[in-house]
Structure 1
Amino acid sequence: MKGTLSPSLGNLNFLEVMVISGFKQITGPIPESFSNLAHLTQLALEDNSLVGNIPPGLGQLSSLQSLSLSGNRFRGQIPPTLGHLTNLVQINLKRNFLTGSIPPTFQNFHALQYLDLSFNMLSGLIPDFIGGRYLPNLTLIDLSNNQFSGQMPISLFSLPKLLDLSLNQNQLTGIIPVQVEGLKSLTSLSLSSNRLTGHIPISISRLHNLWYLNLSANGLSDPLPSTLATGIPSLLSIDLSYNKLSLGKVPDWIRSRQLRDVHLAGCQLSGTLPSFAKPDSFNSIDLSHNHFTGGISNLLANMSSLQNLNLSNNQLKADLSEIKLPDTLSSLDVHANQLTGSLSGSTGILNDRVSRFLEVVDVSNNQISGGIPEFREGLRLKMLDVGSNKIAGPIPNSVSNLAQLERFDISRNQITGTIPTSLGLLLKLQWLDVSINGLTGKIPNSLLGIERLKHASFRANRLCGEIPQGRPFNIFPAAAYLHNLCLCGKPMPPCRQSQ
């Protein structure tokens, strides 16, 4: 379906439910006539391309219990008239371009259970009335990815039914209040990417139902509460990355638990990688930007469910041929270490058995040698970055088997031979970097078939001949082609007849 919403829909006087969702070709504003739908209990206009302001007249729909306008292109402020919808149980305005503050009239939502205003450009303070006195029935609050500032109001922590609190990606300051223990039912708490300071309060240990805790990217400081060793009994996922924590080693209470996700990037950890008491429970581990040394094999022992592993920016020394990756792994990031060995061969990390589920591989900035392996059909790789190593030999023709590939970076190696024409079959490719190698011959015209390409660099090789004359190759900057033997044609100088 496409077009605009017809004002005549407002004449359906007895309509109780209107759901028009997932039509990216439906544009235009919400008709003012919708304010006539007095019997409407549910209005869902989600994931379309609607524009304009949210009509103040929607505040006349006194029977409305659920209002969702998420995933559109609405601008302007949230109309205060929405506060007249005193029967509202759910309001979802996420993923728009709304500005201004939360209207004071929202304190009238005494029945409200679900409040999602995430992914907008809302600002100001989080109002005091978002708490037990005015909105006692809230089970979800998501104000993430906005521009809210100031401190979290204490009233926020007097919501005994609240299950999910997401305030991440804002500009909140101050401490995490000790009153956080008042959220007795809380299962998920995300305060990441703010400007919070001070210590993690001891009282957070008393959240017996909490399974997801993300406090990353703040200014929280040592020490961690000792009560965490016995507190938060339901914890499955913890992220303390990028704070002012100097943990030294992974705390015993983390290593001994049956956890699903442990993210401790940038926590001043050192020594050898830890071993975990319940390795088969892990889904995701991020120990990047620390000071770990030694090998990787011990960490991976018996991690039969691991999907995401990030050990980048450490000082790890290991031979790739000695690393046995879990069969379940989909993302591997070990860039900026001191790894050696080869990608190819029966024991390489891209061998047939292991790579079934791999979608992301970043082994750049290491000391890896050997060649680029042959790729069989059916691989799911979306990103392959082997830049800044000592890899030699040609780009194999079988690179065309990586049909899902979106990012391919082999820059700063010793790769020779020509660019295979089969590279043009990677129709989903968005990023291509083959710079600073020893490639010869032409840039094949087959690459013109890659219509999604946004970035490419061929500089500092020994390439010659006419640059493919079509978008985007002839509109990339000249810097993408500099320092070759004799590349010519836009954006470089014109070719001579002999070329």
Structure 2
Amino acid sequence: MAAKMFRICVLLILISPALAVLCNPADKKNLLQFKQDLNNPYMLVSWNPDTDCCYWNAVKCDQKTHRVISLTILYSGPFTNFSFQIPPSIANLSSLRTLILHKLPNLAGHLPPAIANLTSLSYLTISWTNVSGPVPDFLSQLKNLQFLDLSFNNLTGSIPSSLSQLPNLISLRLDRNKLTGPIPDSFGSFNSSPSLFLSHNQLSGTIPASLANQDPMRIELQMNKLEGDAYMLFGANKTTQMVDLSRNLMAFDISKVEFPTSLISLDLNHNMIYGKLPEGLKAVDFLQMFNVSYNRMCGEIPQGGRLQRFDVSSFFHNKCLCGSPLPDCK
């Protein structure tokens, strides 16, 4: 019996290294190629071919299939100071569900078409980099995408209308780039009413009327050159919580707007909006941020709701608004 137990123990010792190997061999090979294509940056020093890639920094594996499903490379101090582009070898990590490249100021070049091969992606973030060029049409091929974040880059050109073909999108972030042209009319055909973060660009033209069909949680269009009406973003039956249209060229009669009672934040400052604030704003019970300053509004501020909780700075520099918290109407 003792001899038998000894043989079992020896056998377990011999096979335990194999049992401990979790990383899919093809994924490991592809990660090492990816590292080599990046010129072996110090931030990936843990990517040692003699160790299991599921334990490497920035890598996460599926516990059942052992495939690499997440790659998250973040700013990690002075050792991030190297120049690189996203290599085509990224396409070989075919099981990726999450790809995050964040706060890498020396990441440059265009977004490579190879990303279109990552059809399992549900979360794609390439932000706070120096990536340039257009927002590519091929992103519309990533049908599993739920979150697309390309904010804080140097992207130029117009927003591709094809992004509306992403059926599961929950959040679209293209803010803090150098994008021009209009918001695509096709954005009214999203299946999923994603939150839209398009602020701090150079977008122009009118907001498409088709957005009346959408009910996103958040809409951030501030710091652009948008003009005209914004009625389509609102409606009594919508559940939108946050809208920021500040510092644009918007000009419409606010008295005709029906605001959703779900609003938590509404910022319309620095536009050319006119008319009287509608009485319906008194029914917005959870409003925590409100600013209509620097517009052309007139008439008495609705009394009896939450609007009196905001100070003068939320209302001043309008044509003839009056009533608390501003001076009484004459």
- Please give the TM-score of this superposition, normalised by the length of structure 2: 0.72
Q: Who is 1:113 aligned against?
A: 122
Q: 1:184 Cα deviation (Å)?
A: 1.0
- Cα 1:216–1:187 shift into 2, 3 Å: same
Alignment partner of 1:262 is 2:266: yes
Q: 1:169 Cα deviation (Å)?
A: 1.0
Q: Who is 2:294 aligned against?
A: 289
CA distance in 2, matches of 1:84, 1:139: 21
CA distance in 2, matches of 1:267, 1:117: 31
- Cα 1:115–1:247 shift into 2, 3 Å: same
- Pick one of 191, 214, 223 that aligns with 2:220: 214
Q: Which moved more, 1:270-279 or 1:160-169?
A: 270-279
**Bigger-Rg structure (1/2):** 1
Alignment partner of 1:126 is 2:132: no
Give the 3-state SS of the residue equivalent to 1:203 in structure 2: helix
Give the 3-state SS of the residue equivalent to 1:176 in structure 2: coil
Q: 1:173 Cα deviation (Å)?
A: 1.3
Q: 1:80 Cα deviation (Å)?
A: 2.7
CA distance in 2, matches of 1:69, 1:218: 31
> What CA deviation, in whole Å up to 9, does each residue of 1:322-375 have, x standing for no partner?
85xxxxxxxxxxxxxx98xxxxxxxxxxxxxxxxxxxxxxxxxxxxxxxxxxxx
Give the 3-state SS of the residue equivalent to 1:94 in structure 2: strand
CA distance in 2, matches of 1:284, 1:191: 20
- Cα 1:302–1:42 shift into 2, 3 Å: farther
- Please give the TM-score of this superposition, normalised by the length of structure 1: 0.49
Alignment partner of 1:146 is 2:153: yes
Q: Who is 2:12 aligned against?
A: none
Alignment partner of 1:303 is 2:306: yes
Q: Who is 2:187 aligned against?
A: 180
Q: Who is 1:278 aligned against?
A: 283
Give the 3-state SS of the residue equivalent to 2:102 in structure 1: coil
Which structure features the higher share of helix residues? Answer: 2
CA distance in 1, matches of 2:114, 2:56: 20
> What CA deviation, in whole Å up to 9, does each residue of 1:32-54 have, x standing for no partner?
561627853475549xxxxxxxx
CA distance in 1, matches of 2:42, 2:295: 50
Unpaired stretches in structure 1, ≥5 consecutive residues: 1-12, 17-27, 47-61, 324-337, 340-499
CA distance in 2, matches of 1:239, 1:228: 11
- Cα 1:318–1:197 shift into 2, 3 Å: closer
- Matched to 1:40, the amino acid is C
Alignment partner of 1:240 is 2:245: yes
> Where do 1:305-454 residues align within 5 Å?
310-311=313-314, 314=317
| Greater relative contact order structure (CA < 8 Å, 6+ sep) | 2
- Cα 1:230–1:115 shift into 2, 3 Å: same
CA distance in 2, matches of 1:120, 1:217: 20
- Matched to 1:129, the amino acid is F
Q: 1:64 Cα deviation (Å)?
A: 1.6
Give the 3-state SS of the residue equivalent to 1:81 in structure 2: helix
Q: CA RMSD in A?
A: 3.6
Q: Who is 1:70 aligned against?
A: 74
> Where do 1:2-81 residues align within 5 Å?
14=21, 29-31=42-44, 34=47, 36=49, 39-41=52-54, 45=58, 63-73=67-77, 74=80, 75-76=82-83, 77-81=85-89
Q: Which moved more, 1:116-125 or 1:180-189?
A: 180-189
**Count of aligned positions:** 279
CA distance in 2, matches of 1:188, 1:195: 19
Alignment partner of 1:85 is 2:81: no
- Cα 1:217–1:33 shift into 2, 3 Å: closer
Identity over the aligned pairs, expressed in percent? 27
Q: Who is 1:96 aligned against?
A: 104
- Matched to 2:245, the amino acid is L
Q: 1:202 Cα deviation (Å)?
A: 1.8
Q: Who is 2:174 aligned against?
A: 167
Alignment partner of 1:192 is 2:199: yes
Q: 1:310 Cα deviation (Å)?
A: 4.8
Contact 1:207 1:232 in 2 (8 A): no
- Cα 1:305–1:147 shift into 2, 3 Å: farther
CA distance in 2, matches of 1:229, 1:31: 47
Give the 3-state SS of the residue equivalent to 1:213 in structure 2: strand
